[in-house]
Structure 1
Amino acid sequence: MTALLSVRDLSVSFRQEGALTQAVRRISFDIARGETVALVGESGSGKSVSALSTVSLLGASAQVTGSVTYNGSELIGADEPTLRGIRGNDISFIFQEPMTS
Protein backbone atom coordinates (compact mmCIF):
# COMPACT_ATOMS: atom_id res chain seq x y z
CA MET A 1 0.00 0.00 0.00
CA THR A 2 1.31 3.46 -0.90
CA ALA A 3 1.87 5.90 1.95
CA LEU A 4 -0.39 8.94 2.04
CA LEU A 5 1.72 10.46 4.82
CA SER A 6 5.40 9.60 5.01
CA VAL A 7 7.67 10.80 7.81
CA ARG A 8 11.41 10.24 7.37
CA ASP A 9 14.18 10.98 9.86
CA LEU A 10 12.08 13.61 11.64
CA SER A 11 13.98 15.36 14.42
CA VAL A 12 12.78 18.26 16.54
CA SER A 13 14.87 20.44 18.84
CA PHE A 14 13.97 23.50 20.88
CA ARG A 15 16.23 26.44 21.64
CA GLN A 16 15.69 27.99 25.05
CA GLU A 17 18.02 30.42 26.78
CA GLY A 18 20.81 29.57 24.34
CA ALA A 19 20.61 25.81 24.93
CA LEU A 20 19.37 23.31 22.35
CA THR A 21 17.23 20.41 23.62
CA GLN A 22 16.37 17.53 21.32
CA ALA A 23 12.76 16.41 21.83
CA VAL A 24 12.42 13.94 18.93
CA ARG A 25 15.27 12.05 17.31
CA ARG A 26 15.02 10.62 13.76
CA ILE A 27 11.59 8.97 13.74
CA SER A 28 10.18 7.47 10.55
CA PHE A 29 6.77 6.01 9.74
CA ASP A 30 4.22 5.75 6.93
CA ILE A 31 0.44 6.04 7.04
CA ALA A 32 -1.59 4.62 4.16
CA ARG A 33 -4.99 5.91 3.03
CA GLY A 34 -7.69 4.69 5.43
CA GLU A 35 -5.28 3.80 8.22
CA THR A 36 -5.68 5.12 11.74
CA VAL A 37 -2.49 5.59 13.74
CA ALA A 38 -2.01 6.10 17.46
CA LEU A 39 1.21 7.51 18.90
CA VAL A 40 1.68 5.78 22.23
CA GLY A 41 4.36 6.38 24.82
CA GLU A 42 5.22 7.70 28.22
CA SER A 43 4.59 11.28 29.22
CA GLY A 44 7.29 13.48 27.74
CA SER A 45 8.37 10.95 25.10
CA GLY A 46 7.67 13.29 22.16
CA LYS A 47 4.26 12.13 20.92
CA SER A 48 2.66 15.56 20.72
CA VAL A 49 5.81 17.23 19.40
CA SER A 50 6.05 14.59 16.67
CA ALA A 51 2.42 15.02 15.63
CA LEU A 52 2.44 18.82 15.75
CA SER A 53 5.66 19.03 13.75
CA THR A 54 4.13 17.14 10.81
CA VAL A 55 1.94 20.16 10.00
CA SER A 56 4.22 22.90 11.38
CA LEU A 57 2.21 23.68 14.50
CA LEU A 58 5.20 24.18 16.79
CA GLY A 59 6.43 27.55 17.97
CA ALA A 60 9.28 29.59 16.56
CA SER A 61 11.77 28.02 18.98
CA ALA A 62 11.35 24.62 17.29
CA GLN A 63 13.94 23.43 14.80
CA VAL A 64 12.49 20.66 12.62
CA THR A 65 14.56 18.55 10.25
CA GLY A 66 13.79 15.54 8.11
CA SER A 67 10.98 15.01 5.64
CA VAL A 68 7.20 14.90 5.94
CA THR A 69 5.37 14.26 2.68
CA TYR A 70 1.61 14.26 2.34
CA ASN A 71 0.09 13.04 -0.90
CA GLY A 72 3.48 13.55 -2.55
CA SER A 73 4.04 17.14 -1.33
CA GLU A 74 6.75 18.08 1.16
CA LEU A 75 5.30 19.75 4.27
CA ILE A 76 8.54 20.72 6.03
CA GLY A 77 9.10 24.29 4.88
CA ALA A 78 5.74 24.53 3.07
CA ASP A 79 4.09 27.95 2.97
CA GLU A 80 1.31 28.85 5.39
CA PRO A 81 -1.58 28.80 2.85
CA THR A 82 -0.64 25.24 1.85
CA LEU A 83 -0.47 24.11 5.46
CA ARG A 84 -3.75 25.86 6.35
CA GLY A 85 -5.48 23.97 3.55
CA ILE A 86 -4.28 20.63 4.94
CA ARG A 87 -4.75 21.22 8.68
CA GLY A 88 -8.14 20.05 9.87
CA ASN A 89 -9.30 19.25 6.35
CA ASP A 90 -6.91 16.43 5.45
CA ILE A 91 -4.83 15.87 8.59
CA SER A 92 -6.42 16.03 12.03
CA PHE A 93 -5.43 15.05 15.54
CA ILE A 94 -7.41 13.82 18.52
CA PHE A 95 -5.44 14.68 21.62
CA GLN A 96 -6.01 12.88 24.89
CA GLU A 97 -7.39 15.07 27.63
CA PRO A 98 -5.22 14.21 30.65
CA MET A 99 -7.94 15.11 33.18
CA THR A 100 -10.35 12.49 31.78
CA SER A 101 -7.93 9.62 31.17
Structure 2
Amino acid sequence: MSNAVLSVSNLVTSFRLGGRWSPVVNDVSFDIGTRETVAVVGESGSGKSVTALSIMRLNAPGSSKVEGSIRLEGKELLSLSEAEMRRIRGNEIAMI
Protein backbone atom coordinates (compact mmCIF):
# COMPACT_ATOMS: atom_id res chain seq x y z
CA MET A 1 0.00 0.00 0.00
CA SER A 2 1.64 3.25 -1.10
CA ASN A 3 -0.33 5.46 1.32
CA ALA A 4 0.33 3.38 4.41
CA VAL A 5 0.38 5.20 7.73
CA LEU A 6 2.01 2.16 9.34
CA SER A 7 4.05 -0.25 7.28
CA VAL A 8 5.60 -3.34 8.86
CA SER A 9 7.92 -5.37 6.65
CA ASN A 10 9.68 -8.64 7.42
CA LEU A 11 9.31 -8.19 11.19
CA VAL A 12 11.26 -10.74 13.21
CA THR A 13 11.25 -10.60 17.00
CA SER A 14 13.58 -12.92 18.87
CA PHE A 15 14.15 -13.55 22.57
CA ARG A 16 17.33 -14.76 24.20
CA LEU A 17 16.69 -18.26 25.48
CA GLY A 18 19.45 -20.49 26.79
CA GLY A 19 22.19 -18.25 25.41
CA ARG A 20 20.84 -18.06 21.87
CA TRP A 21 18.29 -15.96 19.98
CA SER A 22 15.00 -17.74 19.26
CA PRO A 23 12.50 -16.09 16.88
CA VAL A 24 8.96 -15.92 18.26
CA VAL A 25 7.54 -13.67 15.52
CA ASN A 26 8.92 -14.48 12.10
CA ASP A 27 8.57 -12.52 8.83
CA VAL A 28 5.39 -10.53 9.57
CA SER A 29 4.44 -7.86 7.00
CA PHE A 30 1.38 -5.62 6.68
CA ASP A 31 0.32 -2.06 5.87
CA ILE A 32 -2.35 0.04 7.58
CA GLY A 33 -3.80 2.95 5.64
CA THR A 34 -5.42 6.17 6.75
CA ARG A 35 -8.73 5.66 8.57
CA GLU A 36 -8.37 1.87 8.52
CA THR A 37 -9.24 -0.12 11.61
CA VAL A 38 -7.28 -3.30 12.19
CA ALA A 39 -7.91 -6.17 14.58
CA VAL A 40 -5.19 -8.72 15.20
CA VAL A 41 -6.65 -12.09 16.12
CA GLY A 42 -5.16 -15.50 16.73
CA GLU A 43 -4.70 -18.30 19.18
CA SER A 44 -3.07 -17.77 22.55
CA GLY A 45 0.69 -17.67 22.10
CA SER A 46 0.56 -16.88 18.38
CA GLY A 47 2.52 -13.61 18.72
CA LYS A 48 -0.16 -10.91 18.75
CA SER A 49 1.14 -9.11 21.84
CA VAL A 50 4.79 -9.57 20.89
CA THR A 51 4.06 -8.04 17.47
CA ALA A 52 2.29 -5.03 19.04
CA LEU A 53 5.03 -4.55 21.65
CA SER A 54 7.67 -4.78 18.92
CA ILE A 55 5.95 -2.08 16.85
CA MET A 56 5.78 0.17 19.93
CA ARG A 57 9.37 -0.79 20.87
CA LEU A 58 8.28 -1.86 24.32
CA ASN A 59 9.92 -5.31 24.46
CA ALA A 60 12.49 -5.80 27.21
CA PRO A 61 15.82 -4.36 26.05
CA GLY A 62 18.73 -6.79 26.09
CA SER A 63 16.56 -9.90 26.17
CA SER A 64 14.76 -9.22 22.88
CA LYS A 65 15.82 -8.28 19.37
CA VAL A 66 13.58 -6.75 16.69
CA GLU A 67 14.57 -6.82 13.02
CA GLY A 68 12.92 -5.77 9.78
CA SER A 69 11.25 -2.44 9.08
CA ILE A 70 8.56 -0.56 11.01
CA ARG A 71 7.65 2.73 9.33
CA LEU A 72 5.17 5.21 10.80
CA GLU A 73 4.33 7.97 8.32
CA GLY A 74 7.70 7.37 6.67
CA LYS A 75 9.77 7.35 9.90
CA GLU A 76 11.72 4.17 10.53
CA LEU A 77 10.87 3.42 14.17
CA LEU A 78 13.67 0.91 14.66
CA SER A 79 16.28 3.61 14.04
CA LEU A 80 14.83 6.18 16.48
CA SER A 81 16.27 6.86 19.93
CA GLU A 82 14.29 5.92 23.02
CA ALA A 83 13.61 9.64 23.67
CA GLU A 84 12.14 10.01 20.16
CA MET A 85 9.99 6.90 20.69
CA ARG A 86 8.65 8.30 23.98
CA ARG A 87 7.46 11.41 22.11
CA ILE A 88 5.75 9.23 19.46
CA ARG A 89 4.05 6.79 21.87
CA GLY A 90 0.62 8.03 22.88
CA ASN A 91 0.80 10.97 20.46
CA GLU A 92 1.24 9.36 17.04
CA ILE A 93 0.77 5.68 17.82
CA ALA A 94 -0.94 3.77 20.63
CA MET A 95 -2.44 0.38 21.35
CA ILE A 96 -5.38 -0.79 23.40
- What is the TM-score with the length of structure 1 in the denominator? 0.87
Specify the alignment match of 2:82 in structure 1. 80
User: Which residue of the partner structure matches residue 33 of structure 1?
Assistant: 34
1:14 aligns with 2:19: no
Aligned residues: 94
| Residue number in structure 2 paired with 1:90 | 92
* CA-CA distance at 1:84 after TM superposition: 0.9
Superposed CA RMSD in Å reads 1.2
SS in 1 for 2:49: helix
TM-score w.r.t. the length of structure 2 is 0.91
Note if 1:67 corresponds to 2:84. Answer: no
- What CA distance in whole angstroms lies between the structure 2 residues aligned with 1:32 and 1:86? 18
User: Would you identify which runs of 4 or more consecutive aligned residues in structure 1 move more than 4 Å?
Assistant: none
Structure 2 CA distance for aligned equivalents of residues 83 and 4 of structure 1? 16
Cα distance, 1:34 vs structure 2: 1.2
CA displacement at 1:92 relative to structure 2: 1.1
Percent of aligned positions that are identical: 50
